[in-house]
Amino acid sequence: MFARARVARRLQRGRAASSSGDTATARDHYEAALRAARLGEAWLEAGQAASWLGNLARDAGDWADAEHHYRLAATQYKRAPRSARSLGARVQCLENLGDVLLLAGRPWDAYREFQEGAAAAGVDPARPAGDGAGFVTREDLRWVSHLATAAQAAGRRKLAAEHYETVLAGCEARGDVAGQIMCWKGLAALAEGMMAWNDVAHALHTASNLYPALPEPEAHTREWVQCLRDLGAVYKTLGRRDKQVRAFKLAMRLEQVDASARTDRDAGQRTNETMAHDEHRDD
């Protein structure tokens, strides 16, 4: 009990130091909390301290130190009494570890950590492709997306394509348009790596046609424009000049509409600021 109270104080001070940007002091508090928690067998608190140390290392770009602390944190969380809190913390820790390994250029190691994270979260990577749309959760799609990204980075194109198609089936079942766009872009990147230009064109064309179905398509205009420009470049490679010109014209039109909307918003904001200033002056 005493160890937990002391660790809690150290963690609180560490978080306060982190918030103020004093990383050196924060690291000292987290390291002290980790030592005390491990000696007192306060495994959940030990996991929290190690996770915070991992976050500091990740933010500093020290991938090796971040990996060490995230692995340590995952072990401590596994030792802690099983609860929603300890399980959720371990899942988050494994996700962070996979992200760090991707940043460190070790995608296949990241894939294995994402697999472990998915298993800990109770995710079945095959479930999004099932017939029962009711059983497809956001958690399923999120973890299978991680697996697809890691497999693609590792050069396992066939495996990545299988994961993307699984996620795509789940997104279609849920009506998740943003997820479908992400999948089609991922499939386009895979096809480009194999120089399968017809498949690239099909994937980008499908993705570009999905943007209007987003809840707020205007918020994704730049993304949409880039997709159309990429599609136009692929059509150029395929020698389909008519489709190339059509894609580039639509991209230009979207850019003009977006620029006009931004100008109107800026003018409206300046008008509001002027009116507010005049009212303040009159008062």
d(CA 131, CA 212): 27
DSSP letter (8 states) at residue 83:
-
d(CA 108, CA 160): 12
Residues of the chain with pLDDT under 50: 132-134
- Cα 25 to the chain's mean position, in Å? 29
Per-residue pLDDT reduced to its tens digit, 193-236 = 889 999 999 999 999 999 999 988 888 999 999 999 999 999 99
What's the confidence (pLDDT) of residue 87?
Answer: 92
Quick one: tokens of 77? 């969380």
Inter-residue contact 43 to 76 (CB < 8 Å): yes
Quick one: tokens of 238? 């395929």
d(CA 184, CA 203): 5
Per-residue pLDDT reduced to its tens digit, 45-76 = 999 999 999 999 999 999 999 999 999 999 99
- Cα 248 to the chain's mean position, in Å? 29
All structural domains of the chain, each given as residue ranges with its CATH number in brackets, are: 1-104 (1.25.40.10), 191-265 (1.25.40)
Q: Write down the pTM of the prediction.
A: 0.74
What's the confidence (pLDDT) of residue 134?
Answer: 46
Closest CA to 160 of 140, 181, 189: 189
What's the confidence (pLDDT) of residue 145?
Answer: 86
